[in-house]
Chain A
Amino acid sequence: MELSENTLFIEDSLSLSNAKSFIEDALILLEGYDQERLEINLDRLGYLDSIGVTALNFLQEKMSDKGLQVNFSGGKEDVRKKMEIFSLHDYSVPPKARKHSFFEKVGDGFDTLVRDYIASFIVLTANVIFWSVSDIFKSKRQRRGEFYNQAVLIGVNAVWIVGALAFIIGLVMALQSSAQLRDFGANIYIVDLTVIAMMSEMGPLITAIVVAGRSGSSIAAEIATMKVTSELDALKTMALQPVRFVVVPKMHGSFITMPFLTIIADIMGILGGMFIAYVSLDISPQVFINRMGDTLYNRDIFIGIIKSLVFAVLIVLTGSFYGLRVKEGAEGVGKVTTTAVVVSIALVMVADSIMGLLFY
């Protein structure tokens, strides 16, 4: 480029590859320019692309900001045409939305919590419980095989992982306790410790955490994807209740299988404790089982099953709630899935504490 009196001649080509250096060079060249008018001549310009056009407009604006009157002149027909088509005469990036004040944010957050979370969760819970109960008596309304599918997905497929984890937890719990019990000569109490802890606390909790991680996430992801891809809208416009069609079979499936999973976890955890009792404290399985008969009450088994049913409801409701709340596309599905798992595990813990206090 060349500056001659009040005319800047642009030469060769101006495109993506040299737009940056062009602007830098031009601004340096025009740094001490003290005239009122500047003409940018395009006669010597061979090739120009749309980014080159933007660079020329950018230079024009920069010089206009300094109070200069800047005009373009000359140029071959194709250059002039490109300047006409690709010029952005009214440049303004739309302003970002106004930032809210602290109090507005607090008020908005509280409103969202009450309306979007608490009220919606209560409505969903009411809907799911109503349809779950009423659909038991209307078997024709249910899709054939769906209860079986959900029971397999949520319950049966989790048997191995729940069993293995419960065995390890029972084993570790007994191992950690055995040293202390041996010191006090209270070896036989390993049975009480293992059985009561597994039946009323650890069994239901381990099962709930595994199911929340496995099935809670998949429920949230499935429902969120269905919402993003308008499948839920399609159900609604086919006069089908999305909650009833999608959530209720999951509720039935988990409600029936969770107690069985919990019982499996209880048994596996006790087996783990029994193994350590035999290896570490010389308590034979026969003695362990005899002592278990004295320790284990129906009440503990019942508490464990009640807990598992509450956890089943919480996990399905939380997964469905967050799945239905998805707002964006693929990213939104990921977000609600993560939130659903975290919240459902937290709710399981809170519910476990409350029931622990109630049944103490």
Chain B
Amino acid sequence: MSPSNIIEVRNLSAGFDGREVLSDVSVDAPEGEITVILGGSGAGKSVLLKHILGLYQPREGSIHILDQDMAKLEEKDQKELYLQMGVFYQNGGLLNSLTVGENVALPLEQHTDLNEELIARIVQTKLQLVNLPGAYHLYPSQLSGGMLKRAALARAIIMDPPILFCDEPGAGLDPISLASLDKLILNLRDQMGMSVVIITHEVSSILRIADRIVFIDRGKIIFQGTLNEALKNNIEQVYQFFEMGRLFPIDDIK
């Protein structure tokens, strides 16, 4: 594993019920950078993320995170590795029986011996960072879709993990909330040195935050490189993806 890569996926193949979803996928996510995974709907982005997170076992290939092979880790080591990650799920994944404050505090309560007063303050700090200062005592069912996402992000970053995974964090957010979310992610990278892996379709957001682009099309990586390289390349799908964000003429779409 290259010392600068925090995640290395090598020759990963995956499928369900005889249908191949990922084919010979190799991905690098450098340390301290924001890696954006792109691709059309059903391209295999979320399946790739779930393999990286160890939620699915790879059929072929290997996945290394912080120099450890996810598939070969024992439960105890896997737990240690999970403590190094913050994961933001597309639909929030908040526990409905707990308030937002309790949800966000959960990892700190379970994995540290910090006192309640300090935990409440840390939670409130994170809720302020995601612009949800008044949601502490609300239940997830009382939040809008965008608020749910922000609360879930607060929970993902509560332990200041070195790696943050986000599955479509910007979907459903208004442009102002999206911009402030981007600013937060940039701050986490710049100030905390956090490595971030994001699945997103928001072109404006990608242009603001991405260091590195991984483009998946029908289960295969068709482009991998820096944002500048992505913008200058002439692979049709990648080109179209970015141009669509600049109001690509509808007649030119193939």
* Bitwise interface map of B from 121 to 145 toward A, beta carbon under 8 Å scored 1, else 0: 1101110110001101101110000
Closest to A328 in B: B141
Q: B122 and A54: CB pair below 8 A?
A: yes
How many interface residues does B have (CB within 8 Å)? 30
Bound complex: CA A55 to CA B117 (Å): 11
Contact partner of B160 (CB less than 8 A), chosen from A50, A57, A88, A330, is: A50
Q: How far, in Å, is A80 (CB) from chain B's closest CB?
A: 11
- Given known A51-B160, A328-B96, A329-B141, contact A94–B125 (CB-CB < 8 A): no
Main secondary structure of the interface of A (DSSP, over half): helix
Give the distance to chain B from A51, nearest Cβ to Cβ, in Å.
Answer: 6
Question: Smallest distance from the beta carbon of A42 to chain B beta carbons, Å?
Answer: 15
How many interface residues does chain A have, given as a range?
20 to 34
Instruction: Decide: A88 and B141 in contact? CB cutoff 8 A.
Output: no
Q: Distance (Å) between the CB of A128 and the closest chain B CB?
A: 27
CB neighbours (8 Å) of A297 from chain B are none
Q: Digit string of A69-95 for contact with B (CB within 8 Å is 1, else 0)?
A: 000000000100110011110011110
Is residue B118 within 8 Å, beta carbon to beta carbon, of the partner chain? yes
Cα A331 to Cα B137 in complex, Å, equals 18
* Contact in complex: A51, B120 (CB < 8 Å): no
| Complex CA distance for A15 and B187, rounded to whole angstroms | 17
A124 within 8 A of B: no
B115 interface hit (Cβ, 8 Å)? yes
Tell me if B141 and A82 are in contact (CB < 8 A): no
Contact B112 A16 (CB under 8 A): yes
Q: Is B196 an interface residue (CB 8 A)?
A: no
Is residue B234 within 8 Å, beta carbon to beta carbon, of the partner chain? no
Note all chain A residues with C-beta closer than 8 A to B114.
19-20
Please determine whether B121 and A327 come into contact, CB atoms closer than 8 angstroms. no
Please give the distance in Å from B65's CB to the nearest CB on chain A.
Answer: 19
> How many contacts A-B (CB < 8 Å)?
74
Which residue on B lies nearest to A20, using beta carbons? B114
| Residues of B with C-beta under 8 A to A20 | 112-115, 118
A54 and B121 within 8 A (CB): yes
Determine if B191 and A55 form an interchain contact, defined as CB atoms under 8 angstroms apart. no
Is residue A58 contacting chain B, with contact meaning CB distance below 8 A?
Answer: yes
A96-B101 Cα distance, complex, nearest whole Å: 12
Which B residue's beta carbon lies closest to that of A95?
Answer: B137
> B153-189 toward A: CB 8 Å interface, digit per residue (1/0)?
0000101100000000000000000000000000100
Whether B125 lies near A88 (C-beta < 8 A) is: yes
User: A329 touching B96 by the CB < 8 A rule?
Assistant: yes
Q: Which listed residue, A86, A329, A332, touches B129 by the CB 8 Å rule?
A: A86
B110 in the interface (beta carbon within 8 A)? no
Q: Given A16-B159, A86-B129, A330–B96 Cβ distance below 8 Å?
A: yes
Q: Which residues of A302-360 are within 8 A (CB) of B?
A: 327-332
Closest residue on chain A to residue B97 by CB atoms: A331
Q: For residue A16, which residues in chain B have a CB less than 8 angstroms away from its CB?
A: 112, 159-160
B192 interface hit (Cβ, 8 Å) = yes
> How long is the Cα–Cα vector from A86 to B187 in the complex, in angstroms?
10
- With a cutoff of 8 Å between Cβ atoms, the chain B residues found around residue A82 in the complex are 191-192
Q: A16-B112, A23-B118, A331-B97 are in contact. List 10 more A-B contacts (CB 8 A).
A: A15-B160, A19-B118, A20-B115, A78-B191, A81-B191, A85-B187, A86-B125, A88-B128, A93-B124, A94-B137
16 contacts between A and B (CB under 8 A): A19-B114, A55-B118, A82-B191, A82-B192, A88-B121, A88-B124, A91-B121, A92-B124, A93-B101, A93-B137, A94-B134, A94-B136, A94-B137, A328-B141, A331-B96, A332-B141
